[in-house]
């Protein structure tokens, strides 16, 4: 079940009514409803993979109870590694087995040895990378004694399977989300209204911007050999806005939906394309994943406390693993390594925490210096996205080679260029709205709050009309494949 579907439009009100009117007096019953709704939500896609979520839930719940009773450090490590190996084992089989097998065969073929092995013909379970990391955060934090292990299996099941963020995040920490299932929740009208507002903006980003950009990004990337360098630049820009509006749109809908049920999820995007350097970009892009790797990989490896070699090693480790998390393809690994190369000069010169505040805070326009750095960072990001979107390394290199050819200075041309101008105008309007609302939690969180009600509601209806009038052909959320 996806957020921008009729199925979800029917599902959400039913669960909302049952949650607040039929189960609100008993916390246990509310949590059980969340578990049932979440399993229905996920099983709507493929019920067979519900067993994976249930098994992961049982394993990590049992590990938590074991850690509660166990003081022997060796046995505690065994319990932790049980959780890590089981969770990453499932992830490795479903997501990476064929990748490693193919590269293993290719390597031996290079040295003249032929190896025959059968690849697995399996479907990648939607959201497995997200809920795997979420449950791992529980086991690790319990092991480190940062969190008291739960004895409430229903609450823990709800934490693992919470449907708003189950398949594409944000990747919640157990220390933040799990305790919310222990507390009685009362309906908060202002929180619900704010949630609906964020859902509306998320739908706009997904349906109007991402889905329209996807049409032209797919056309250009899938037929890149037929187009000039200028057209390929346009294709990269379309994908740049597609992936941001697709993923941040999902996060907006997830966070807004959670507010309807009295939950607060962590912020996942903070206007990353207005960043003035790559370090700032990564503080604002996919925050739940980047902070997960920081806390559970980068810092345990030593962070930036050691010498230059350790800083370089740890930086490449976190970015390459982040790239590999996205998919079993060398393009993602190169994308991660490229971002590490961008990031290293800032780290080694201690300039990686220069831009902590919102750009041009309290001002209408950025300074020339701020604008220059934003454009440079945006350009580096667009270049890296080419590797992310390309089918393989060869495709990425040929794509970039054509961009660097004299055809870069020609007029962009592709089928549907006239219709694409509408999308370009919509993207421009979107960027202006995002810039206006960059100091809020999301672009329209404060927009129109002080306006008179008719004018404020006119804005909301205008967004709704735009969704139906300009909505592109339905596209699957990009991060479902990760």
Domain ranges of the chain: 6-186, 190-276+355-481
> Tens digits of per-residue pLDDT, 407-459?
999 989 888 888 899 999 999 999 999 999 999 999 999 888 888 888 988 99
Average pLDDT, the chain: 91
286 is catalytic: no
Which of 91-100, 308-317, 449-458 is predicted with the least confidence, judged by mean pLDDT? 91-100
pLDDT band at 210 (very low <50, low <70, confident <90, very high): very high
pLDDT band at 1 (very low <50, low <70, confident <90, very high): confident
What is the pLDDT, as a whole number, of residue 269? Answer: 96
pLDDT at 226 over 80: yes
pLDDT band at 110 (very low <50, low <70, confident <90, very high): low
Q: Which tokens hold the place of 325?
A: 């998390």
What is the pLDDT, as a whole number, of residue 34? Answer: 96
What is the pLDDT, as a whole number, of residue 105? Answer: 63
pLDDT band at 257 (very low <50, low <70, confident <90, very high): very high
Report d(CA 68, CA 82) in Å as an integer. 15
What is the pLDDT, as a whole number, of residue 133? Answer: 92
The average pLDDT across 186-210 equals 95
pLDDT band at 285 (very low <50, low <70, confident <90, very high): very high
- pTM, entire model: 0.93
Provide, rounded to the nearest whole percent, the portion of the chain with pLDDT above 70. Answer: 94
> Tens digits of per-residue pLDDT, 63-94?
999 999 888 999 999 999 999 999 999 888 88
What is the pLDDT, as a whole number, of residue 418? Answer: 85
pLDDT at 266 over 90: yes
Report d(CA 205, CA 310) in Å as an integer. 40
What is the pLDDT, as a whole number, of residue 401? Answer: 96
Report d(CA 164, CA 265) in Å as an integer. 10
Three-state DSSP string of 92-135: HHHHHHHHHHHHHHHHHHHCCCCCCCCCCCCCCCCCHHHHHHHH
The average pLDDT across 295-322 equals 89
Instruction: Tell me whether residue 461 is exposed, middle or buried, using C-beta atoms within 10 angstroms of its C-beta: 0 to 12, 13 to 18, 19 or more.
Output: exposed
The average pLDDT across 200-207 equals 96
Region at 339 (left for phi over 0; alpha for psi -120 to 50; beta for the rest): alpha
What is the pLDDT, as a whole number, of residue 331? Answer: 94
The average pLDDT across 379-404 equals 96
| Cβ 211 vs Cβ 471: under 8 Å | yes
What is the pLDDT, as a whole number, of residue 112? Answer: 65
Listed in sequence order, the DSSP H helices in 47-96 are: 50-69, 73-91
What is the pLDDT, as a whole number, of residue 125? Answer: 79
Which has more confidence, 375 or 167? 375
pLDDT band at 370 (very low <50, low <70, confident <90, very high): very high
Report how far Cα 96 is from the mean position of its chain's Cα atoms: 19
pLDDT at 103 over 80: no
pLDDT band at 277 (very low <50, low <70, confident <90, very high): very high
pLDDT band at 472 (very low <50, low <70, confident <90, very high): confident
């Amino acid at each position: 079940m996806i957020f921008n579907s009729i199925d979800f439009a029917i599902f959400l009100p039913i669960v909302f009514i049952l949650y607040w009117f039929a189960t609100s007096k008993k916390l246990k019953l509310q949590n059980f409803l969340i578990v049932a709704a979440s399993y229905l939500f996920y099983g709507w896609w493929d019920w067979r993979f519900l067993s994976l979520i249930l098994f992961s839930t049982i394993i990590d719940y049992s590990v938590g109870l074991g850690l509660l009773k166990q003081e022997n450090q060796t046995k505690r490590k065994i319990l932790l590694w049980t959780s890590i190996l089981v969770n990453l084992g499932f992830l490795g089989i479903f997501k990476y087995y064929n990748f490693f097998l193919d590269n293993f065969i290719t390597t031996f073929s290079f040295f003249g040895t032929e190896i025959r092995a059968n690849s697995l013909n399996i479907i990648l379970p939607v959201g497995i990378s997200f809920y795997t990391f979420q449950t791992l955060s529980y086991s690790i934090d319990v092991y480190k004694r940062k969190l008291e292990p739960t004895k409430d299996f229903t609450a823990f099941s709800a934490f693992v399977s919470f449907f708003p963020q189950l398949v594409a995040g944000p990747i919640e920490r157990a220390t933040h989300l799990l305790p919310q299932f222990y507390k009685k929740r009362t309906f908060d009208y202002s929180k619900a209204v704010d949630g609906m507002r964020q859902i509306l903006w998320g739908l706009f980003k997904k349906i109007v911007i991402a889905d329209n950009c996807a049409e032209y990004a797919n056309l250009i990337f899938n037929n890149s050999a037929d187009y000039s360098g200028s057209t390929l630049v346009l294709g990269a820009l379309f994908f740049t806005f597609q992936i941001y509006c697709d993923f941040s749109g999902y996060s907006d809908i997830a966070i807004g939906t959670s507010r309807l049920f009295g939950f607060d999820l962590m912020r996942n995007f903070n206007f990353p394309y207005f960043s003035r350097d790559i370090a700032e970009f990564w503080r604002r892009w996919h925050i739940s994943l980047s902070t997960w790797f920081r806390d559970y990989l980068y810092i345990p490896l030593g962070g930036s406390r050691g010498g230059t070699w350790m800083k370089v090693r740890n930086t490449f480790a976190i970015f390459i693993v982040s790239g590999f998390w996205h998919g079993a393809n060398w393009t993602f690994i190169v994308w991660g390594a490229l971002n590490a190369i961008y990031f290293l000069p800032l780290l080694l010169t201690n300039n990686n925490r220069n831009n902590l505040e919102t750009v041009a805070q309290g001002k209408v326009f950025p300074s020339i210096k701020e604008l220059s750095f934003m454009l440079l960072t945006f350009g580096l990001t667009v270049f890296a996205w080419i590797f992310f979107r390309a089918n393989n390394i060869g495709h990425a290199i040929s794509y970039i080679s054509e961009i660097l050819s004299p055809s870069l200075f020609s007029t962009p041309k592709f089928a549907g260029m006239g219709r694409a101008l509408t999308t370009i105008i919509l993207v421009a309007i979107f960027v202006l709205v995002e810039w206006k609302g960059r100091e809020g939690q999301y672009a329209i969180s404060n927009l129109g709050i002080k306006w008179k009600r008719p004018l404020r509601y006119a804005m909301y209806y205008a967004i709704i009309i735009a969704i139906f009038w300009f909505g592109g052909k339905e596209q699957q959320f990009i991060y479902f494949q990760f």
